[in-house]
Every structure is written in structure tokens, then in C-alpha cells.
Structure 1
Amino acid sequence: MFLNKRRWVNKGFILIMLMLIVVISGCGKNSSSDIVPGKVNVVTSFYPIYEFAKAIGGDQANVTNLLPTGVEPHDWTPRSKEILNTSKAQLFLYHGAGLEGWVPNFLKGLGSDAVVKPVEVSHGVSLITAEGDDGHHHGEEAAENGEEEHHDDSSHHIDPHTWVSPKSAKIIAENIKNSYIEVDPEHQAEYENRYAELAKKLDELDSKFTTELANTSKKEIVVSHQAFGYLCRDYGLTQHAIMGLSPEAEPRAQDIVALSNMVKEEGIKYIFFEELVSDRLAKTLASEAGVQTLVLNPVEGLTKEQDKAGENYFTLMEKNLQNLLLALQ
């Protein structure tokens, strides 16, 4: 009986170990087994960079996105597993400009022997500094900040949402292309060609936004999260945000009242919300002001439904344009 019991314990132990191996080896996109020999292994910090890196990398690249589908990037922090896997890649592409507060510690955690090259892909975008000092910056247009060395200086409230404008997205795409060429110069021609295709699509999107938004009678939008500064700057709009640069920033009661009054005075018919963040405040304000809500997507990530439907940066931005045109007519 003792022998049978010991056999059962051994079998149980082996079974548990096998289950652990399956779990560890099957942890999805982020597992270390995703390092593919003979390709440029790229880890990206969130969705738009992932999409552009895949488009430019093509067959030469194996791209893994750190941020899971349906998660808002302001909320997420990496675990030790992600640090370990990234240290084995050739490129780590992150946005910078204060979007990923976890990056400085993440880079330290990669270790001195890691071969991975970290690249801040927003480098070269003319950054916007949001006004106000408490996360509640409503009403005024943001000013430009030319001092790129202040990327992580939180006291300046730098707006990190550069990619929401196709003009800035093109700079990001070019930085991604250059980083590929730096680590894999042998395939420079392929990277240049695929970047040219992506840049052409971004130019066409930029041209469409420019032409169609120039013809709207209204220029003011009310948004739940102050994520549209670059879009507004590049296409002649002004955003009024219920919350600040972080979607978790709670507005004060007087902010809601002031916005409600402004909505009524300006004849604004729609208040925009986004899918990855609660729409509670947008709906509260819409109800208070007697207007409707519409989606304006900051393209920080896909919902699971959007992922299944094959949505991407371009389809979401096209929907953004149509909703802006509806709200601004």
C-alpha cells in the first residue's frame, strides 16, 4: 500500500510538472519560445507600435506586443517574465514622451548582458505640453514643447498621445524603419520598401483628415480623456477634456458644470468617449448637457471584438474621422 501511495504521489508530481511545463511554454505571445532564430525579434510596448513594426518588419521580423488585447496602456505594468523575454530580443520599441511610466525601471531590469536595443519611437515629434498643474486641464489649446529632453518630466504634463495624428504616426513609423536597418542592415531595401508603403497610407489618411476637417463649421470637441492634442493641433480643432492626460484622473464637480455650460453655449451635440476606458463620466456629462455620445478612439489598443473583426490603426482612424465629421457639422 505504501508503494502504491508513493507511486501515486510520484505520478501526481510528474503530472503537476507536465502541467507547469505546458503552462509556461504556452503563455501566449509573450513567452520566451517566441524568440525566432534568423529573424529580427522585436518587442513593442503597445498596439500602434506593434502594428507599424509588423508592417515594416515583414518576413524579416518576429514582433511580440507586451500589452494584452483589451488593456489600456496607462493601466499596465510589466512582470519579470516580460523583462526576461525582452532581454533576448534584438529591438525593444517603446513610445516614450511619458506614456509608459514603467520603462526606466524596465530598461534597468534588462541587465548589462542583454543584446536588445531600446528605441524611443516618438523621438522627433514636436511634443505638446498640456496646461494646468493638476491633471485637470480643460478648455485651452495645448502649447507646443520644443524641448524634447523633457520627455519624462511629469511637472510639464507632456501629452504622450502623438500617434493619434497621422502626421506624428509617420515620424514614429520612420523611427521604427531606421531601428530595423540599424540592427539588420542586410535587409535595408526591404525595410525601406515596406516603410514607403506604410508612409503612403499615412499620407493619404493625413490628406483626408486635412481636407474633410477643413470643411466643418464647428471646431470644438468634448472628449472624456485628453488624448487628442496632436490630432487637434494638426487639423485645426480644439479639445475640451473631462479628464486629464491620464484616463484615471477624476474631474472636479465644477469642471463638469463648466463643461456642461460650454457644451450648451457652443451648441455641441456630441460628447466623445473611448472603448478601453469607462464611459461613465462622458455619459454623465452628456445627460447633464442634454446631448449624445459618440466614440473617438485614441487607438491605444484593440478591444477583443475589434481584434477578431480585423480592425487596425487605419480602420479605427477612418471611423474617428467619420464621427468627427458627424459631431462637427
Structure 2
Amino acid sequence: MTFIQKKRQARLDRSSKLGKRSTRKLLWSGLLILSLFVLSACGQNSEKTAKIVEGKVNVVTTFYPVYAFTAAIGGEDANVINLLPTGVEPHDWTPKSQDIVNTSKAQLFLYNGAGLEGWVPNFLKSLNSDTKVKSVAVSEGIKLLSAEGDDGHGHGEEHEDEHADDHADESGNEEQIADHHIDPHTWVSPKSAMIMAENIKNSLVEVDPEHKAGYEQRYEELHTKLEALDRRFTNELASVPNKEIVVSHQAFGYLARDYGLKQHAIMGLSPDAEPTGQDIVKLAKLVKDEGIKYIFFEELVSDKLAKTLASEAGVETMVLNPVEGLTQEQVNNKDDYFTLMQKNLQNLLIALK
């Protein structure tokens, strides 16, 4: 082989090696992009892919407020799995088989109670026979409200079955509890949320005493934030001239009780409890008679009825969020319990001035 031929061959060999390297780089780049895409997808659907973590206390929560408070108190010491997916309204959600598997392996199962999660008794019966999970209704200790009328979904029945004796004094007597549905929307009031947070902290300490100091510290930080929120609601709503609010569903009873308001609901305890035409006419008359300027609606349920009533009464609509869950947009905006409750306060001040 001549010198010129050798040089030509060397160039060809280098080109071949470079080509192979480029191919490998492209292949790795493609795999990396694919991996990032998969990880991103998992992040967006974390509720569906959450798994039990060995070496940590595993806590399963039923829906957003309980999850948010538990994650804040648990911090790095707890692996918190929330059952309810983003953007789903909790009243009629039911668990899946994987939820039973995860909860059976967990150390703690935290649910709101007070009748919100009517599926809980059967769910707990479905867990593996060897499960060590401790279940706690975090609304225990809150003076519960009762609401008249059947919501059509059996909400309140779980509470009546399990805690009728415990709360007989608060509702008057056991017969009253049987005739009324318990209002489960405890977390919407910061005063009630403080009791829930303490129950969560005590539950974590009980199943994981080794990390008590961390739970206590993070609980105090959360409690301080809830106290500040409570003070804002108390001070700012005390001075509003109007006290009547019209809401899409009966989710603001504790907020109204604790801050001197009176709620009128288009629907019952469940957002699926349809009002009659007569109900709409009566509410429209109330809105006009009381000089109410806004009808409140929620983001996770249809605003159709709120807009119908607003049109009938000649007023506007505005959001009042029961903070039952986050929309995907709220997740993207990094909203949380506190930002949503502060927006609620701002909207109440506008509506009631």
C-alpha cells in the first residue's frame, strides 16, 4: 500500500470511528430524552405511581387537605401517599386495588372522617389480614355540625355508625344525628384545621416515636401558620357589613360558624345533590331581598347552577374554594392550602363589603 493510500485509509478509519461515536451519542441522547419524559410523566401522576418506601414510616391519606398537613408535619421522616388524584372531586371517588395494597403495607392511614369518605369502613375490611396499619379519623375532637336533608350519597352514615355516641351531646341527642347528615367539611375553617393538624402530629408520633422531635417541630411551624390565617379571617371578617353568602354546595358551614357568617347552599352536602326549580326561585328571592352581590362557585365542580342562579337574581359569580383538592393549574402555580384560603378571604371581603 502506497503512502497516499495509507493516508486515505486512515481518514476512512477515523470517519468510521467518528460515525460510530456519533451514532452512540445520538442513541444515548435519545435514551436520556425518553428517560426524562418518563420521569416527567411520573411526576405529573405521582398519586398513581406512589409506592411504599422501606425504612420510613409510610402514611396513606385520603384527599388533599389531610395530605398537605401530613406532608408538612411528616417532612423527610415520612413517606406520604395521597389516594385522590389531582383534579378529582372527593365526594364520590372510590379507591382502587393498588390503594388497598399500599394501605395494607403502610403504618398509618389518615382520613378526614365525619362522613366524608363513606367507603372507609369497607376499605378497611378489605386490607390484608396481616396488616399493621393504624387508621385515624383526623376530624376527631372537632365540634361537628349537622345539616338537614338527604344528599343522595349516604354522606354522614359512616360517622353516624362509628361516632354517634361520641357526638350525641354536640348534636343534641342520638335521634337528631339519625335525622341529620353530619357536615364533613371541617378543614375549610382554619380553627378546625388546627385540631386536624394536632391529630395528625399525634398519630405520627404514636407510630414513629423515634422521630418525635422532628414531628413536633414541623407541627409547631404549621400550627403557627394556621393561627396566623385564623387571625386574618377573624379580624378582617369581623368588620364586613354583610354576613350572608350563597354557595354552590354546603361546604362552608364550619367557616361560617367560626367567623360569623351564614351560608345558603344551592346544593346539599354533596355537589351532586340537585336543587329543585323551587329551590332556585327561593334563593333568587333571598339574594334580591338581602342585597347579595355574588354567587360563589367551585373549580372542581360545574358552575352551571351557580351561573343559573346568578342570572336569575341579576348578580355576578365568584370562586369560593372548599380546598377539597387542587386542579392541575393550581399544582403548576404551586398553590397550596394557605394560598387558596387567602384567596377565599380576599373574595369574601369583596363580596361582603
For Structure 1 versus Structure 2, the TM-score category normalised by the shorter chain is 0.7 to 0.9
CA contact (8 A) 2:151 2:273 kept: no
Matches within 5 A, 1:54-203: 54-133=71-150, 146=170, 155-203=179-227
- 2:63 pairs, out of 33, 37, 46, with 46
Report whether the alignment pairs 1:239 with 2:267. Answer: no
CA deviation profile, 1:175-194 (whole Å, cap 9, x unmatched): 00000000011111111110
TM-score by length of 2: 0.80
Deviation track 1:54-107 (CA, whole Å, cap 9, x = no partner) reads 000011001110000000000200111111111111111100000001101100
Tell me the CA shift for residue 112 of structure 1. 2.4
List per-residue Cα deviations over 1:175-222 (Å, max 9, x = no partner): 000000000111111111100000000000000000000000000000
Contact kept? 2:145, 2:171, Cα under 8 Å: no
* Aligned CA distance change for structure 1 residues 74 and 203 (closer, same or farther; 3 Å): same
Task: Give the TM-score taking structure 1 as reference length.
Answer: 0.86
Q: Which runs of 4+ in 1 moved over 4 A?
A: 25-28, 30-33, 147-150
Q: How many pairs are equivalent? A: 296
**SS where residue 229 of structure 2 aligns?**
helix
Q: Give unpaired runs (5+ residues) of structure 2.
A: 1-41, 153-167
For 1:242-321, list aligned pairs within 5 A: 242-321=266-345
The Cα shift of 1:115 comes to 1.5
Q: CA deviation at 1:32?
A: 7.7
- For the residue of structure 1 that corresponds to 2:228, the secondary structure is helix
| Matching residue of 1:322 | 346
Task: Report the Cα distance in structure 1 between the residues aligned to 2:75 and 2:52, rounded to whole angstroms.
Answer: 16
Bigger CA radius of gyration: 2
Separation in 1 of the partners of 2:182 and 2:93?
19
Q: Deviations over 1:230-273 (max 9, x none)?
A: 00000000000000001000001111000000100100000000
SS of the equivalent of 1:257 reads: helix
2: CA distance between counterparts of 1:78 and 1:154?
Answer: 27
RMSD value, Cα: 2.2
User: Would you say the 8 A contact 1:128–1:145 is kept in 2?
Assistant: no
Instruction: Give 2:181's aligned amino acid.
Output: H
Distance in 2, matches of 1:284 and 1:27, equals: 34
Query: Post-superposition shift, 1:30?
Result: 4.9
Percent of aligned pairs sharing the same letter: 71
